[in-house]
Structure 1
Amino acid sequence: MSADTTPSTAPPRPVILLTEGGTRQYSGVGRARAAAAIAVVSWALAVVAVVLMFVGRPVIDELLWFFVVDASVACVYGTVAAVTLSRRAHPVPWLLGLAAVGGGLAAFGYAYEVWSARPGGLEPNETLAMLQNTAWVPGTIALFLVVPWLVRDHPLGWEWLGVLAGSAVTTAITLAAVFEWEQILSLFRVSIGLGLLTAAVVELRHRFGPAEERNGLGWLALGTTILAVSFVPVVSPQTWLPFWTTPILHLVSQTIFPAAVLVAVLRNRMWGLRLVVSRAVLAGLLAAGLLGLYIVTTLVLTRLLPSSDGLAHLLAAGAVAVAVQPARLVAARRVHALVYGDATDPSRVVRRLGSQLVGSTSVEELLSGVTEDIGRSMRLESVTVDAEGIDPVRWGRPTEAPTSVDLRHRGERVGVIEVSPLPGEALSARDLTTLRDLSSVVAAAVAVARAGADLAEMRLRLAAARLEERRVLRREIHDGLGPSLAGIRLGLQGARNLLATDPEAGQVLLARLQDEVDAATNGVRSLSHHLLPPVLDELGLGAALTELAGRYDGSGLHVDVECDRLEGLDPQVAAAAYGIASEATTNVARHADATHCWISAVRHVDGFLLLVIADDGRGVSADVTPGVGSRSMRERAEEQGGSLDVRPRPGGGTEVHATIPLEVARA
């Protein structure tokens, strides 16, 4: 399918969210300098810390795990904060930057302490050493107590309570860490409970919140839960979770949480980052999942096979090898749904569009539902369906030149669909591919809408034609048959009186009345034959046209009929053809001042009946307004899906050309 795609190249603008309630303007396109500063500082701290640790050659213990977490937080969240902040000035990337810089400072503080403990190292510094226990606190705690509340486009309502509570707990834990308060464990317990509550609220938003904000929230809820649970070993050393579980869970959360923030804050418009995020999350999930499977399997088999002498590890490795491919397939589907939303599965959107085709009660409702489904599924700013013969249907309001894709149905261009991404964003190649895939469904919807509009118009025209036919019948009966019967009734009364006094005059009057009855009978027969002669049903269209021509014998108009084999015609097709021929011949007799008329009916090889009525009369002037008869002929042809054309005849006169599909009435 060929499509005209014209991507927008307009410069970035402030983010504008268009909803049913109106237009709300949010923060601008980003803070490039601040984003670069966060990335440079966090990465520099992490690199320096790793170098110092390498030089210091630390003892491998639990604290080293926390160093790995702090360094990875600096790199991962520093990158995510920079990417997000450079594209959208939002509170969330600032908090991610705080976590990144805090993690870098904590890693640097621990590395400096390790290096200073070596012979010949730098002098110990209490302030720098304290960073490892305090610098990470505000950013990390805010990740699961404050950030999830702020990942939204709609203004905060009662959710401000969650932001205030999370900020208060974060501040309290930070002060407790700096001043070494004894209440810090109690504050951590509060943070765990509040974190789980925050995760539950995010999951509810994922299930029941605004459709345009749901993508990524499920993963954000999972990451928030992991971060909250990771502090359980800290507050309860006697728990069944070992102490090293905390850094492990922090590392696992870094596989999920940053990607969820990227998707949710940037609303699925990450340009080339999509592929990077997708592969990074997939790799992280596989690594974490397979490592967890290996550890759990090893622990279980070691208890079941205490004297296995390495057999437990071998069987665990085999279980991991077997689980690699199924785990990859499951994780890939989940990750694609995270990064691309509904756009990763066009069939899901097609099914929803199909429900619109079935459930809509009007053309406007059908196209409005289709445009809204595409806009919400692909997270667009606006969608416009502009179809020929139908008023344009719009969802949203574009703020820049849109991208257009042709709508084609059975090879015919039926319109165009125009879409525009959210301000400051762009459509990717995958978006355009999805849009082209959906355009065929939209084209079908447009075709259905056009067919519905044509059907409604045809019904109105058919009702008007039937009304006009009734008016003609009423006029013929009222002006023709009615006066004739009234005259005959009066004549019979006169003949009745004459028979008693002058029988001979009475007989003459009865003979005259008999002639009038014959004339009235012929008029009724002619009227009925004009509508639908019995011979049409009994012998077919050819015989009916021959009978039609015979009516004009002796009238001064000679009518010739030429027909090929017309047996087996659908009765509706035959009736329409006869009606056209009868009306056209009547027009010739009344208005053309012609001496010769030709009727030709030929079954064409392309599946239609070609009917031509020609005369040698004076022709039809170009400025003549078509009358009832002409409109009636055209409507008869169009009711069967055909067409009718009135044109000058070469050599003088007029030709009426009608084409009627032979199979339309059976469809």
Structure 2
Amino acid sequence: MSEPTEPGRGGHGLPRLALILGGAAWLLALTGLLLFLSSRPVGTVDDLFLIVDVMVGLVYGAVATVVLLRRSHVVGYLAALTALGGGLSALGGGWRMFAESRGLTPGPLADTFGWAWVPGTLAMFLVVPWLVRERPLGRAWWGPATGGLIAAAALVASLAGNYAMLAGVLVVAVVFGFITAVAVEARRRTSPESEAVGLGWLGLGTLVLALSFVPLLLPVGTVPDWLTPALHLASQALFPVAILTVVLRQRLWGMELAVSRALLAGVLTAALAAIYLVAALLAGVLVPGQGIAQAVAAAAVVIAVGPTRLWFAARIRRLVYGVAHDPWRVAGSMGTRIGRGGTDEGLLTSLVESVGTALRLEAVSVRGADPAEPSTGSGHDPQAPVLAAWGLPTGDPVVVPLLSGDRTIGTLEATPRPGETLDATSRRALDELAAVVTAGLVLIRTADELTRTRRRLTDARLQERRVIRRELHDGLGPWLAGLRLGLQGVANTIGTDREGAVKMLRALQGELDQRIEDVRTIARTLLPPVLEELGLEPALSELVARHRRSGFDVHLRFAVASDLPGPVAAACYGIAAEAVLNAVRHSGAAECELEVSEDGAVVRVCCRDDGAGYRQDARIGVGTLSMRERAEELGGAVEVRDLAPHGTAVEATIPVRPPGMTRSVSQARSGAGGAASAAGTLRTAGTA
């Protein structure tokens, strides 16, 4: 769909016309300045007005060139009109002063000093503020139309030499200038944020430019003569900056490339130079004498204007770099957002938005990375998932790795605006702000891992309670009931059949010894002390010995060279214990093979028997489910399959270093593994 075109706005730039108009304005202004300097000025009020015209020609000539290079827009033509009018007025004034100093007749060219600046200057604050926007004007067309009529009436009055009529028109112009400034401020307050940025500067520039005409309407002698040109000079330096600020911040008219930071800094620097020049001329006029007196006056000017220079320097940095010149301020704001918390997605999106708006980027995004993988190069993976994004990138991003310790946990991708690159200042600010984004990402991942760990612990506890409840209800409870009946039988027969009662007591004692051993086995398997004290291999050896004492032979092969983390060792033990227990209870075999080996980055636990085999339609019991849960929570898997010609194989693979494992998370998982191990041992009633 094509973009709607508003009246006076073209879809492309006019480079040749832009250079001709801008060059002509500069040529007129510089020629007038050379003629002025050649006339040996003495610091009169006309001299100050001529300096104002020179600045208008130079500054607005640059603005017109910049706008028309990229877009054939009415604002560009009005800026060119202002520049040419200021340049022509400067040329006329310079020629008049030069001719008078040489005793020549100035002629008609000198008359342009009185009227050439009128239409463009008035159009600047009466028409342009209504047109600096991206959307069509709509019903607001009455604003620039009224401003254009006022500017035309002022030009006619100037050419006619009717100063009474000109004064009346200027009164109307000042009033309408105030109205225009109020309209800009109202637009700033009611527009969306993306369309309101920079309008405060534009409204201020409009107001100052309108106020600069007020001294012309006051009776002679009411205000100093130099006040009017000084206000004109200040306003003509502020207003173009206001225009460029809106264009730059709102990215109007496709001007991202044309409105460069260097141009904006140059305009403000020229304004500072103008202030120095005006102050020096005023010092020359107000301080009598020559030599030492003039030197003292110049020194006083430097001292007095010094704070102004510092004020301008701060504003230049803020306008040119945004808050990139003060990244700690942005980092503090981002830190406050981290402290306030919120949803994980909302927090990370808020952080990247802060980076984008602070550095005036086109787009910013954060991609995730596997912290378990070693850092290589920038760690940038274009296929990695995007965790948060702000803006829509149209170019190649600048990639900054997000490092936590010696691990790359993600990358920050910052895309400059079209035609721009990140200078050294912005790049340093990006690196510093990336550290805050890293802190936010670490916080989010830690919170997410904590939530998952807490959920696993809760599930393990619930499963453990279910199994213990079933064991108490279906195992220990019925046996105690049987013991009670047996003891009652002994009590009933001890008086009549003493020998039978003794036999019954011996049988009950044997059964009680077996139950005591079962309870001890359960206690040891909840979290075997040998597993914590000596490691996985001794714990498995104890498991093998225990089953051999009960008559089931387990052949253990252990081939793990490295020290396994606590959660991995606990998971391997729990899976091995559950697999052997299933073989004892359901395979019908007299023995099984248990192999635990390290294969690269994974540990394999395999239990094989030559029993009845595993039926594919068998119901998945609690034991099998628990083995799978243990492996999957550490990034592994469990497979149960039939063996030919008969038998069953249970094979589990678990990463040696599970993804995202830190010391604190490992300890939490260790606890989870212990709870899961307890649940596994108590599953004596589970099916394979």
- TM-score range (shorter-chain normalised) is 0.7 to 0.9
Q: 1:49 to 1:534 in 2, by over 3 A?
A: closer
Q: Secondary structure at the match of 1:383?
A: strand
What is the percent sequence identity of the aligned residues?
Answer: 36
Give the superposition deviation at 1:221: 4.5
Which of 511, 531, 554 pairs up with 2:526?
531
Q: TM-score, normalised by structure 1?
A: 0.72
Give the superposition deviation at 1:205: 6.8
Q: Secondary structure at the match of 1:105?
A: helix
Report if the CA contact (8 A) 1:384-1:419 is conserved: yes
Q: Which residue of 1 aligns with 2:512?
A: 517
Q: Secondary structure at the match of 1:407?
A: strand
Which of 312, 322, 332 pairs up with 1:351?
332
Q: 1:64 to 1:627 in 2, by over 3 A?
A: same
Q: 1:403 to 1:138 in 2, by over 3 A?
A: same
Output the CA distance in 2 between the equivalents of 1:321 and 1:129.
34
Output the CA distance in 2 between the equivalents of 1:633 and 1:15.
58
Give the superposition deviation at 1:140: 0.1
Report if the CA contact (8 A) 1:545-1:561 is conserved: no
Give the superposition deviation at 1:333: 1.6
Q: Which residue of 2 aligns with 1:627?
A: 624
1:473 matched to 2:454? The reply is no
Report if the CA contact (8 A) 1:117-1:124 is conserved: no
Q: 1:524 to 1:442 in 2, by over 3 A?
A: same
- Cα shift readout 1:27-64 (whole Å, capped 9, x = no counterpart): 64533233123213323443565677789999985444
Q: Which residue of 1 aligns with 2:421?
A: 427
1:30 matched to 2:17? The reply is no
- Cα shift readout 1:51-102 (whole Å, capped 9, x = no counterpart): 7778999998544443343343223211221112213444432221111122
1:80 matched to 2:63? The reply is yes
Deviates more, 1:184-193 or 1:322-331: 322-331
Q: Which residue of 2 aligns with 1:261?
A: 243
- Cα shift readout 1:345-381 (whole Å, capped 9, x = no counterpart): 3333323332332234212112221233233333344
Which of 80, 83, 92 pairs up with 2:75?
92
Aligned residues: 614
Segments of structure 2 that go 5 or more residues without pairing to the other structure are 370-383, 559-564, 640-648, 669-688
Q: Which residue of 2 aligns with 1:101?
A: 84
- Cα shift readout 1:399-437 (whole Å, capped 9, x = no counterpart): x34424143223434344445455x54334355554444
Output the CA distance in 1 between the equivalents of 2:229 and 2:33.
17
Q: 1:499 to 1:429 in 2, by over 3 A?
A: same
1:288 matched to 2:275? The reply is yes
- Cα shift readout 1:295-327 (whole Å, capped 9, x = no counterpart): 58997xx8xxx9x99997666544445457655
- Cα shift readout 1:375-399 (whole Å, capped 9, x = no counterpart): 333334433333247554333334x
Report if the CA contact (8 A) 1:294-1:316 is conserved: no
Q: Which residue of 2 aligns with 1:403?
A: 397
Q: Which residue of 2 aligns with 1:581?
A: 573
Output the CA distance in 2 between the equivalents of 1:384 and 1:582.
42
Q: 1:507 to 1:232 in 2, by over 3 A?
A: same
1:409-488 superposed matches below 5 A: 409-410=403-404, 411-422=406-417, 425-430=419-424, 431-432=426-427, 434-488=429-483
Q: 1:576 to 1:504 in 2, by over 3 A?
A: farther
Q: Which residue of 2 aligns with 1:379?
A: 360
Letter of the aligned partner of 2:225 in structure 1? F
Report if the CA contact (8 A) 1:271-1:426 is conserved: no
1:274 matched to 2:274? The reply is no
Which of 246, 249, 253 pairs up with 2:228?
246
Output the CA distance in 2 between the equivalents of 1:177 and 1:635.
87
Q: 1:599 to 1:69 in 2, by over 3 A?
A: closer
Q: Secondary structure at the match of 2:389?
A: strand
Q: 1:656 to 1:335 in 2, by over 3 A?
A: closer
1:501-650 superposed matches below 5 A: 502-532=497-527, 551-552=546-547, 554=549, 555-557=551-553, 581=573, 583-588=575-580, 590-591=582-583, 627-631=624-628, 633-634=630-631, 638=634
Q: Which residue of 1 aligns with 2:210?
A: 228
Q: Which residue of 1 aligns with 2:320?
A: 339
Deviates more, 1:274-283 or 1:338-347: 274-283
- Cα shift readout 1:624-649 (whole Å, capped 9, x = no counterpart): 9993453454478x5xxxx88999xx
- Cα shift readout 1:178-227 (whole Å, capped 9, x = no counterpart): 44363321332333344345446656777996554566555545543442
- Cα shift readout 1:607-662 (whole Å, capped 9, x = no counterpart): xxx999899989x99x99993453454478x5xxxx88999xxxx99898886989
Give the superposition deviation at 1:291: 5.5
Q: Which residue of 2 aligns with 1:19?
A: none
Q: Secondary structure at the match of 1:237?
A: coil
Output the CA distance in 2 between the equivalents of 1:457 and 1:508.
55
Q: Secondary structure at the match of 2:342?
A: coil
